[in-house]
Each structure stands twice: as C-alpha cells, then as structure tokens.
Amino acid sequence: MSMNQLIERIAALQNPTVAGLDPKLDYVPEYLRKEAFASTDDPLEGAARALLAFNKGLIDQLWDIVPAVKPQAAYYEMYGWQGMRTLHETISYAHEKGMYVIIDGKRNDIGSTMEAYATAHLGKTLVEGRPVPAFNGDCLTVNGYLGSDGIAPLLKICNEEDKGIFVLVKTSNPSSGELQDRKIGEKTIYETMAEMCEKWGGMAPGSYGYTAVGAVVGATYPEQLRELRAKAPSTFFLVPGYGAQGGGAADVAGAFDRNGLGAVINSSRGIMCAYQKAGCDAHEYALAARKEALRMKDDIMSEVKEIRLP
Amino acid sequence: MSMNQLIERIAALQNPTVAGLDPKLDYVPEYLRKEAFASTDDPLEGAARALLAFNKGLIDQLWDIVPAVKPQAAYYEMYGWQGMRTLHETISYAHEKGMYVIIDGKRNDIGSTMEAYATAHLGKTLVEGRPVPAFNGDCLTVNGYLGSDGIAPLLKICNEEDKGIFVLVKTSNPSSGELQDRKIGEKTIYETMAEMCEKWGGMAPGSYGYTAVGAVVGATYPEQLRELRAKAPSTFFLVPGYGAQGGGAADVAGAFDRNGLGAVINSSRGIMCAYQKAGCDAHEYALAARKEALRMKDDIMSEVKEIRLP
C-alpha cells in the first residue's frame, strides 16, 4: 500500500491515528501466555506464539476503526528469530484485514546495505531469480544521519513498489535536543533534516499534497511540530509521544494542515495495555484496546474537526 | 565477550581486522546454493540454509587468524525470519570457534525500545522469569542521533553483561558529510558525536586505555580518522571502507595508537568474494577468503608494525 492509501484510509475512517504494536511479554494477558507456553518447550518459541495471539486479538478489534498499525521491530527482535517470524505473521494478518503497516525499525546504512534493508522491509528479495517479500511492510521508519546515500535506495523502492518512509526529524524523547536542537549556522539540525525530507520527497512524489517521504516528529514538542508543519508542507508526519509519553490532543493539533491531513498520531502502550488501566478482565484486553482507540480518535478529532481529501 | 577480550584477541593474533559477514545470495557458490535449495521448497528457507553453510565455511577458515566477525543485520533481514535464524546460528558458530561477534545493526531508538534492542542483540530476554539470549552478540553498532536516552540502556548492558557498542561518528560513504561535516559552532557534528562517545565511555569503563563505547569511523576519510584518534583517545574505532570501498593500509594508519591498538579494520566483500576475484574453484571459496584475510593482515601490519598490550 502507498502513502496515498494511508491518507485515503485516514479520511475514510476519519481517524488520523496508528496503533503501535510493541508487544512485550508483560503486556500479554496470562491466559494467552499459558496457552502459548503449554504448546512448546522453547521459551522464545512460546513467547513468539503468545505475542502473535495477542497481536491478532488486537487487530481483530482495531481494523475497522484504526487505519494503520506500527509494529516496533525491537520488541520482535528481543524474542529472537522466532519473534521476527511473529513480526512477519503480524504484518500478513494486518494486511488481510486491510490495515496499512508501518514497520518502526529506524533502519540506516549506506548504499548496498541500505538497499538490503529496503528490500527486507518494503521490497522483494530475489531468490534464485524469484522475487519474494521478506517482511512486506508498507512503510519503514529510517534514520537519516548517513545522508542521501542511505536514503536513495529507499526512494527507489518507494517509487517502484509504491511504498513510503518516515525519516527521524525531531524525536519525542527528553534528550532529543542534545544533537537535534543544535544549530548549524541559522538552522537547527532537525530543521536541516526536515529540509532534506522535502528534497528527498521531491524524488518520490505522492498525492493529496504529500510525498512518499514522511518525517517522525514527537508529540512532546508541540511548538516544533507547528513550526515544521509550516516548513515542510509536503512531508507527512508520524507523531509518537501521545498518551504514555505525555502528549495530548492540543499538543498534536499543529501537525495537521487545514484539510485535517498531514499527520498520523501513534499510541502504543495506551492501546495495548488499556485493559490493565481500566482494570477489566484480561480476556477483554482487545475490547479495552478498541475503546481506548475510539477515545483517542475522539480526543484528536476534537482538535482536527474534519478530515477532507483535497 | 567484552571489548577487552577483543583487544586481547587482536594482540594475540597480531591482527587488527574483522571479517564482515554480509552474505548476499549472489556471493554464495553455486554448489552450496544447489544443496540448500534441494533440501526445501521454501525460497527464504533455502536462502537461509545456503547462507549458513557459506558462513560456516568462512568461519572454519578464519577463526584462527582473524579475531572477530561482523555480520551485517540487513543481509539477514533481507531473507526474512529464516535469515534472522541464520544470523543467530552464525553467531553461535563463531562463538564456538572463539571469535568476537560485532552485530552491525546501527540500531537506535529511545528508552524502553532501545532497551529492547540492547536486550535483543547483547543481553538476555526475560521469558516467564527465565533469562534467554536472543541473538547474543558481543557488540552492536548503534546510531546516536537520538542522544543519551538512546545510549543509556546500552551502557547498562555493557556494564552488566560485559558487552560493547560502536556509535556511528563519521561513516565511510560519499554523502556522510551532508550532515556529519556540518558545523555546530566551532565543531563538526562528527566531532560532537565523538565527544559524546568519550562521555558515554566514561560510564562504561574498560581496560588497555579504551572503554566499552567505540566509534565507527570510515577508512575513506583518513584525515578525520587521525583527527578523531587524537580527540577521542579512549574510544576504540571500528573502521569500515577498507578494500572494496577504496581505503588502503596507509589510509587507516592514523586510527591506531602508539601501541598499535585503538582500531579494528573491517573487510566484507573483499574477504567473502575473494574466490571470485582470484578466479579459483568455487569449492575453494573459504580458502580464498583465508588467503585474502592474511594478505589484508600483512598489508595493515606493514603500517602498524606491532601490537602491544600496555
């Protein structure tokens, strides 16, 4: 699916949010863990099965109201190759349900190695002359520290396979300013990176005023969000930091354009762990996630009002 | 294994090099590919088996002369979770042979997510109360764009599990200067990053004058290598870009201190694909790799002369 299709899904559902699937084993209800570990003696295999069951339950309750999921690669790698199989199966399942999938991997490297990452997460691997998708995401988060060499192979796949990327610009963490806020002449590093996104986006055009090259800008820095919305008008934003990290609807309002487009707001723990907070039966974890996803949608739409395709 | 043990192995073998294991299927001799694809119908499974056989053959010929291997995660991810299993099995096999393993993943994220990457690649994952290593590298390459929040969880594991990291400082690619050479006040971004490495290293001390926090500095920028060796005296360098990317022995000479320590020089394609260049029988690919590894060692030692533990 292309970034255009993400935008269309956002408009159709009137919901500019994405559910982060960062499934630590601690988040998985005991009954699912018990079932999974009863089926195998291998601890990582058991963990991988538990996470897949957890994710499928969440997707079943989210696909008709939330346009996209964002699995965070770290939480799958943590459970070894078995965890990576769960990442693959989660992506397939989300696609079956029509959801857009952003792999949050923050990958970065140069030339042929970046090409390998692009192939792994967005493209098709050539195996004895046969193209096979490896993880098959629709979009990948990437780190631009290495410059254009690291982005060029991604632009190629964005164009050829109709995929997208989000480049880290201003991250949501407290220490993001240590490097990102430092000034190169008149401009901060994050502004410089946003300008690079606009430039790269010119090489991977899209529709509705946005390119296939987006940017990650944290909800925890509302001023910078507003500033960057103005300075990078054709760059779609992925906004982490809503909810658990402290950002609210008013904080993310500046990320949207006058059509209510321009950003997708992520919540991970807030949705995955809603059942713990609500103190409800663990068997109802997915229903609790649905309720929280609807609450978050209403919260953000109270600022955005309406999403229109131009 | 700790960074100290890498240094000891380098001194014992009088060889400051690391063999990059970036196994694209194209590099694998036909006889190994045939064997692997005859054993399964699944293309990614076949690829994963072929890569593992290729890697094991290389390790068999390298373990007694080269101190370390550096598998590049991208080339395993490209073959899906099956490829990630091969990454895991390659690391186990290298450890059996006593080699130090640097996972080249350039991972980066914040807080709990970076903790998950650190656990995945260097630590042990807690599964129902039981600590299980997932990929079990000795060292991980990381990207510091997100600042200290992204590095703190790694320092914790470096200290607790005696592991190490290499932070990207000045990468070997042509466009590395687009961001890294820009000036923040008087200093370039790569100098600023090197200073951050020295600071982080202070929180993860080691022996022989170096900390557990190293830096990636490309062989293709010899002046910057020399400059950074002086400015970051307790930061061990991982130096890519020798051979295929154009760096020679004279270019990397500045990376070493007066004891001949301070750096480990990587070659990937040069070693893996030596058999193609030498035009020898593909069955002899591992022997060709050994010859090239010895040639590279002699080449670099012609500059370094002798490696002494202080």
Q: Which helix (H) or strand (E) holds B126?
A: strand B124-127
- Smallest Cα distance from A195 to chain B, Å: 12
pTM of the model: 0.96
Which residues is A166 bridged to in the sheet?
A: A141, A214
Query: Is residue A284 one of the residues assigned to a domain?
Result: yes
User: What average pLDDT does the structure give for chain B?
Assistant: 94
Show residues of chain A in contact with B82, CB under 8 Å: 81
Question: What residues in B contact A179, CB-CB < 8 Å?
Answer: 144-147, 189, 192-193, 196
B307 within domain boundaries: no
Mean pLDDT for A33-62 is: 98
| Partner-chain contact B81 A82, CB within 8 Å | yes
Cβ pairs bridging A and B (under 8 Å) = 227
CB contact under 8 A, B145 and A148: no
Q: Which of A91, A109, A166, A195 to mutate to test the interface with B (most CBs of B within 10 A)?
A: A109
Chain A residues whose CB is inside 8 A of the B108 CB are 106, 108, 143
> Above 80 in pLDDT, residue A9?
yes
List, for residues B42-90, the tens digit of each pLDDT value: 999 999 999 999 999 999 999 999 999 999 999 999 999 999 999 999 9
Contact at 8 Å (CB) between A192 and B179?
Answer: yes
Closest chain A residue to B21, measured at CA: A113
CB-CB under 8 Å, A196 with B178:
yes
- How close is the nearest chain B Cα to the Cα of A225, in Å? 17
Q: Is the pLDDT of residue A53 over 90?
A: yes
| pLDDT of the residue at A201 | 96
Write the DSSP symbol of residue B26: G
Does residue A247 belong to any structural domain of this protein? Answer: yes
| Residue B246 pLDDT > 90 | no
Both tokens of B285, joined, read 């690919």
Q: Which domain holds residue B124?
A: 3-302
Residue of A nearest to B171 (CA): A146
Q: Which residues of A touch B150 (CB under 8 A)?
A: 173, 175
Residues of A forming the active site: 106
Look at residue A111 in the predicted model and tell me its pLDDT: 86
- Inter-chain CB proximity B125 and A174 less than 8 Å: no
Model confidence at B134: pLDDT above 90: yes
Length of chain A: 310
pLDDT at A247: 81
* Nearest chain B CA: its distance from A167 CA (Å): 12
Q: How far is CA B285 from the centre of its chain?
A: 21
Using the 8-state DSSP alphabet, how is residue B309 labeled?
A: -
In a domain, A309, yes or no: no
CA distance B12 to A117: 35
The answer to whether residue A58 sits within a structural domain is yes
Whether A179 sits inside 8 A of B193 (CB atoms) is yes
Q: How confident is the model at residue B277 (pLDDT cuts 50, 70, 90)?
A: confident
Q: A147 vs B88: CB contact, 8 Å cut-off?
A: no
The count of other CB atoms within 10 Å of the CB of residue A63 is: 17
Which has more pLDDT, A183 or B259?
B259
Instruction: Measure in Å the smallest separation between the Cα of A210 and chain B Cα atoms.
Output: 24
Confirm if B42 and B175 have CB atoms less than 8 A apart.
Answer: no
On whether residue A307 sits in a domain, the answer given is: no
| Residues of chain A contacting B172 with CB distance shorter than 8 Å | 110
CA A112 to centroid of chain Cα atoms: 24
Cβ neighbours of B75 in A, within 8 Å: 113, 116
B134 to A192: CB separation less than 8 angstroms, yes or no: no
| Number of domains observed in the structure of chain B | 1
Q: Does residue A6 or residue B244 have the better pLDDT?
A: A6
Closest-CA residue in chain B for A240? B110
CATH number, domain at B94? 3.20.20.70
The pLDDT tens digits of the residues spanning A100-127 come to 999 999 999 988 899 999 999 999 999 9
Q: Which residue of B has its CA nearest to A183?
A: B184
How many Å apart are CA A297 and CA A282, to the nearest integer? 23
Within-domain flag for A310: no
CA dihedral A159, A162, A163, A168 (to 10 degrees): 40
The residues of B carrying an active-site annotation are: 106
Please tell me the predicted confidence (pLDDT) of residue A182: 87
CB within 8 Å: B176 and A88: no
Cα dist from A76 to A160, A238, B11, B212, whole Å: 28, 21, 37, 26
A24–chain B nearest CA distance, Å: 9
pLDDT at A219: 87
In this structure, what DSSP letter does residue B129 have?
T
* CA proximity to A150, closest of A119, A189, A107, A181: A107
Find all residues with CB under 8 Å of B277, minimum gap 6, and list them. none
Phi first, then psi: give them for residue B256, nearest 5 degrees: -100, 150
Structure confidence at residue B137 (pLDDT):
98
Higher-pLDDT residue of A44, B221:
A44
For residue A155, name the pLDDT band (cuts at 50, 70, 90).
Answer: very high
User: Are B150 and A173 in contact (CB < 8 Å)?
Assistant: yes
User: Does a structural domain hold residue B310?
Assistant: no
CB under 8 Å to B45, separation ≥6 — which residues? B82
- Percent with pLDDT over 70 in chain B: 100
**High-pLDDT (> 90) share of chain A, %:** 85
- DSSP letter string, chain A: --HHHHHHHHHHHT--EEEEE---GGGS-HHHHHHHHHT-S-HHHHHHHHHHHHHHHHHHHHTTT-SEEEEBHHHHHTTHHHHHHHHHHHHHHHHHTT-EEEEEEEE---HHHHHHHHHHHTSEEEETTEEEESS--SEEEE--TT-HHHHHHHHHHHHHHT-EEEEEEE-SSGGGHHHHTSEETTEEHHHHHHHHHHHHHTTS--STT--SEEEEE-TT-HHHHHHHHHH-TT--EEE--BGGGSB-HHHHGGGS-TTS-SEEEEESHHHHTHHHHHT--GGGHHHHHHHHHHHHHHHHHHHH------
